[in-house]
Each structure stands twice: as structure tokens, then as C-alpha cells.
Amino acid sequence: MTKPLSLDPITIEISWNSLRSIADECFLTLMRSAFSTNIKERHDHSTAIADRNGRLIVQAENALPIHLASMSGLIGLILEQYAGSLAPGDIFIANDPHVAGGSHLPDINMAMPIFDGDRLLGFVANIVHHADVGGASVGSMSGGLNEIYKEGLRIPILRLFRKGERCDDIMRLLLLNMRLPDERLGDLNAQIAAVKLGVKRIGEMVARHGADHLTALCDEIVSRTNQRMRKAIAGVADGEYSFADVMDDDGLGTEDVRIALTVRKAGEKVVFDFTGTSPQVPGNFNMTLNTTKSAVCYALKALLDPEVPNNQGIFDAIEIRAEPGSFVNCAHPAGVAMRANSCQRVVDVVLGAFAEALPGRVIGAANGANTSAVFAGTDPQTGHSYVYLETLGGGMGARAAKDGKDGVQVHITNTANLPVEAIELEYPLRVEEYSLITDSGGAGKHRGGMGIRRAIRPIGHLCEFNGVGDRFRHRPWGIFGGMPGATGQFRLRNDDGSSRDLPSKITGIFVTDETVVVIETPGAGGYGDPRERTPEAIREDLASGKFTADFVAAHYAPQKVA
């Protein structure tokens, strides 16, 4: 029997960095060759490398934590369904959360196997959030849909390329069922280019060092990550920690959807038990177990060891218990399009549970809403259809030693806010306001981050607006005496001076160029007793214009700023 190759620590580190560089190059290639603003500007995509057993080994530096388990889930199913028939040049495509390891339908996965001769070495994978994949609502991201069939085209695991040759029948079927097929084709081609590049780069690495080197490297990466994560877990005091929070509603009448968590920690072992969480709901905020796993792993990493790499070693260090058919482990045909909102709440619940054990590391509740807006119509200048999709940032929770950040993407999304210039260049829309919302961060020794206001007017055409938000009713909570942040809101403002508020889940509102759509995202919770905020910090709050004198008078000792 051949003795396994042994690698010294320096070789492991250098080769590990080589894999990271390959994943990062694939990420940038995808970003720079994509057609849609959601990828080339907002960077709503991820790239990764997996080993021969389907274990995630490396994720690109700027990839999204929410995609962590989805890519490994896809590759595991490829190995199950296509064992013995994989070949060099194959590329697989999928998106379905229930049968293909996906998280929601707009996130299309691709994976390409890596071979050395006839020997399978691993996979290069990526995932992209496409601006539309069909379904009952433009943008494939509206609330109020009660089953997966209405959310878009469901793609099981399909072989899009067979031994290097594209299966054109499959591509035509996909594009026929998606709005803006030219844009979709451009983004799909960017995904194809990225996996091909990754396979080429790893082939070059194998040519230099050998296939056994790569295999041993992957084993070492997973093992060392797992050891490091278990060591970090061991540093937390043993005990049982609990927390619960609620989603506002599911868009179909179910309010206060409960997410309950008990963390049981003993030695190097930690169990995340979601017993007591609500059953899956009719609306499309449900989460598959893969999605829940991504949120939990992200939160644990952020708390215990932010520099630990994203790979299978983290998954292997934890146990998750979630009842099948529950909100965090839903069953077919549950809708899941808006699962990112629920993921953010799972992160908040994990942070809340660890507050007692790790008071210096947790933060107040963030905007947690992943507020999404979709504008669609026909450009009067070109006659071409368009879909502008964005999930907007908001407040970040206050920290033990710092205020929360203002107007940012938080936790599992890790995307950018779309620049005003990009919106107005690409679409027949005018951004009339893009600002932070006064008084939206929760008061505290350290204040919560502020929400964003974006006001958009269609130019010369009838425009459809779909919007979905959460924490529009339940404010983002503060911690250790910190106050909650402000809620979010959708509003229509007409040129005649009238206006009206919209529900937090709205589909199919049509507006003209005499109406402005106003999107306000939630702020975030404060940290610590407001009475402990320094006079200098309070004066800065006032001088910056971010907080009013009335807010300061209501939450802080007036004599501090006299």
C-alpha cells in the first residue's frame, strides 16, 4: 500500500495560498466578464475549490458566507448522482434548494471536475445571483409566493457541458424560461469562463507538484482548520445558552415567525439546537438546512476566529439539530426565495445566545433585513426590457468598543451597495436621494449603525416595483442596555404632495415618472448603557447631523453636551 504523502508546514502554507489565489482569480474573472450590475458592481457571487470527496477546501476572499454550504452541497450530490461517469470537460449546473443543494433559485451553481488523466482530484465551483430566473414575479425575488414552483425555473443537477461540448438543448431551455435571456447568457458564460480558468490553474499546479501533493494538501487544510476551530470552541465556557427572535411575517399572513436556539457547549463540542422554532411557513422565507448551516458557521467563525478559512473543517466542528419541516429546515415544496432575510435573523440569534459567554465579541442586532428592491420595465430610449435588482445595506450593530457602521451590508451577504452612477447609467431610473436616515441607530455606550434611504424615480415609462423587507415591525434589538435601532419602510411619494406607506412585502406596484419610490432600511441596535456614552461622542453625533437634538435629549444625559 502506498504511503500517504507528507507535507511540511511551509509547503502547506505556500500551496494553500496558491489555491486561495486561484479562487480569487476566478472571482475576479467572473466579476469582470459578467453582464449584470448585480455581479459586476455588487459582487453577488462566490467561487470555491472542493476536493475529490466534495469537501469545500477554499472559498474566494470576497465570496459570500451565505453561499458556503450551497457549493459543497451541489458537489456532494454530483458525486452521488454521476459517480463513475464524470469526465474531463464536464460542467454541471443547478439551482434547486430541495434537490440540488442550492439556497434559492436565483443563485445558479456551476461546478467543473478537475482530472489528472483518469483520476478525479476535485472541483472548481461558483455561484451567481442572477437578476431573474423566471417565475411568477419579475426578479424572482418577491414575497408572498407560497411554493417553490412560483419562484422561478427549477434546475436539477444537469450536465451543461459533456467532455468539453456544450449541451445547447439545455442552454436553450434555461434561457427560454428566464427574463432578459441575453443578460442571463452573458452571466452564465462568465460562470463558465471562471470554472474553466480554475481547472486550468489547478492543472498547472498539479503539473508542477503532482496529484498526490494536491490530495495531501486538501486533507491537511481540512484537518488543520478543524483542529483550529475546535480549539477556539474549547475556549468558550461550557454551558447551555439560549436565545430567540422573530421575523415580522412571511408575506402571507403568518406573523412573528419564531427562531429559537439553544447552544450546548462541552469541551471541543458544540451543538446548535433549533428546537422550538416555528414550522415552515406558507410564504417564501423558509430556509433549507444548507442555508441554516452557512449562517451558523459564519456566526461562529465571526465570534471565535474570524481569520479561520472557510472550508469543510468548520462544518465538521459543529452539530446542528433542526426538525425537518421547520422554518430552518424546510421540506419541499416550501418557498425559499427570501431566505437571506431569515439567515440574517439566525445570525442574530446565534450572537444573542453567546452574549453571556462572549460579551466582548457579540454585537447588537444589525439591520437584519436584507431589504430587496426590484424595478422592471421597458427602457423608453432603447425599447429593451430591464430588471434592476438590489439588496440594500443598513445599520450594523454596535460593538463592545466601537459604534456600529452606517449603511453597510452585514453578516452573510458581504455585497456592495450599488453606486448611483451605475444605476442611472444602466437603467431608465433617477436616484433622487441616497442618504443615511437620521436617528436610525440605536442609542448606547456605543451607538448602532444607521439605515439607508434611497429614493428612485422612473424616467419616461411605467415601472413595476417589488419590495421585500423585514425588521419593518420588530426593531433591531440593542444589547447590554443598548437601545434598539429604527425599523425600515417602503413609501410612494407623488409629485402632487401626497404619499402612502407600502407593506413590507409588496409585489406588482406600477409607478410612473410622477412618483418616487422611497426605500428605507433598518438601523441597528446599540451596545451598553446610553448613560455611559462619552460627551465627545455625543457632540460628534450632533455635529455630524446623523442625530437630532431631540434624539440626544431623549437618550443621553443632557448635562453631558451642555
Q: How far apart are CA 13 and CA 513, in angstroms?
A: 57
- Structural domain ending residue among the three candidates 162, 192, 227: 227
Q: How far apart are CA 282 and CA 136, in angstroms?
A: 16
Q: Are strands 319-321 and 269-273 parallel, antiparallel or unpaired?
A: parallel
Find out whether the peptide bond into 88 is cis, omega within 30 degrees of 0. Answer: no
Record the cell numbers describing residue 128, joined without a space: 451567481
| Confidence at residue 236, expressed as pLDDT on a 0 to 100 scale | 97
| Confidence at residue 288, expressed as pLDDT on a 0 to 100 scale | 95
Residue at 3 is within a domain: no
| Confidence at residue 34, expressed as pLDDT on a 0 to 100 scale | 95
Counting residues of the chain whose pLDDT is more than 90, the rounded percentage is 88
- Structural domain ending residue among the three candidates 196, 227, 258: 227
pLDDT by residue (tens digit) across 295-331?
999 999 999 999 998 899 999 999 999 999 999 999 9
Q: Where are the alpha helices (DSSP H) in 373-419?
A: none
- Structural domain ending residue among the three candidates 201, 227, 253: 227
Q: How far apart are CA 93 and CA 536, in angstroms?
A: 55
174 and 25 belong to one structural domain: yes
Number of domains composing the chain:
2
| Confidence at residue 1, expressed as pLDDT on a 0 to 100 scale | 46
Cα angle 152-140-341, degrees, rounded to a multiple of 5: 120
CB atoms within 10 A of CB 355: 16
Q: How far apart are CA 120 and CA 117, in angstroms?
A: 8
Picking from 266, 223, 214, the residue whose alpha carbon sits closest to that of residue 241 is 266
Record the cell numbers describing residue 220, joined without a space: 491537511
Q: How far apart are CA 492 and CA 501, in angstroms?
A: 6
| Confidence at residue 537, expressed as pLDDT on a 0 to 100 scale | 96
Q: How far apart are CA 75 and CA 49, in angstroms?
A: 10
Q: How far apart are CA 455 and CA 435, in angstroms?
A: 9
- Dihedral sign for Cα 472, 478, 484, 488, please: negative
Q: Provide the residue type at 137 as one letter.
A: S
pLDDT by residue (tens digit) across 361-412?
999 999 986 799 999 999 999 999 999 998 899 999 999 999 999 999 999 8
With 0-12 CB in 10 A as exposed, 13-18 as middle and 19+ as buried, what is 239? Answer: exposed
Q: Where are the alpha helices (DSSP H) in 210-318?
A: 211-234, 289-304, 312-315
pLDDT at 562 > cutoff 70:
no
Grid look-up 472550508 returns: 311
Residue at 318 is within a domain: no
- Coil, helix or strand at residue 385: strand
Q: Provide the residue type at 337 as one letter.
A: A
| Confidence at residue 561, expressed as pLDDT on a 0 to 100 scale | 61
Q: How far apart are CA 195 and CA 50, in angstroms?
A: 12
Residue at 282 is within a domain: no
223 and 78 belong to one structural domain: yes
Span 221-227, average pLDDT:
96
Q: How far apart are CA 60 and CA 407, in angstroms?
A: 24
Asked if 286 and 339 count as a contact pair (C-beta separation under 8 A), the reply is yes
Record the cell numbers describing residue 316, joined without a space: 465538521
Span 496-501, average pLDDT:
93
Record the cell numbers describing residue 129, joined without a space: 445571483
Q: How far apart are CA 372 and CA 313, in angstroms?
A: 32
Asked if 462 and 377 count as a contact pair (C-beta separation under 8 A), the reply is yes
Span 158-182, average pLDDT:
97
Report the mean per-residue pLDDT for the chain. Answer: 94
pLDDT at 558 > cutoff 80:
no
Asked if 143 and 490 count as a contact pair (C-beta separation under 8 A), the reply is no
Residue at 401 is within a domain: yes
| Confidence at residue 304, expressed as pLDDT on a 0 to 100 scale | 96
Q: Where are the alpha helices (DSSP H) in 36-98?
A: 37-40, 68-81
Query: Which run of H or E residues covers position 14?
Result: helix 9-33
| Confidence at residue 103, expressed as pLDDT on a 0 to 100 scale | 86
pLDDT at 70 > cutoff 90:
no
pLDDT at 559 > cutoff 80:
no
pLDDT at 463 > cutoff 60:
yes
Under the banding of pLDDT at 50, 70 and 90, the label for residue 51 is very high
Under the banding of pLDDT at 50, 70 and 90, the label for residue 540 is very high
DSSP annotation of 394: B
Residue at 313 is within a domain: no
Domain that holds residue 553: 363-562
| Confidence at residue 2, expressed as pLDDT on a 0 to 100 scale | 55
Q: How far apart are CA 206 and CA 146, in angstroms?
A: 48
| Confidence at residue 418, expressed as pLDDT on a 0 to 100 scale | 86
Residue at 30 is within a domain: yes
Record the cell numbers describing residue 57, joined without a space: 477546501
Residue at 277 is within a domain: no
Grid look-up 436565483 returns: 106
Record the cell numbers describing residue 528, joined without a space: 451598553
Residue at 256 is within a domain: no
| Confidence at residue 368, expressed as pLDDT on a 0 to 100 scale | 82
Record the cell numbers describing residue 121, joined without a space: 482530484
Asked if 111 and 192 count as a contact pair (C-beta separation under 8 A), the reply is no
Q: How far apart are CA 159 and CA 94, in angstroms?
A: 9
pLDDT by residue (tens digit) across 415-460?
888 899 999 999 999 999 999 999 999 999 999 999 999 999 999 9
Record the cell numbers describing residue 435, joined without a space: 442618504
Sequence-ordered list of residues with C-beta below 8 angstroms from that of 453, at least 6 positions apart, any chain: 433, 434, 435, 436, 437, 518, 519, 520, 521
Q: How far apart are CA 325 and CA 287, in angstroms?
A: 10
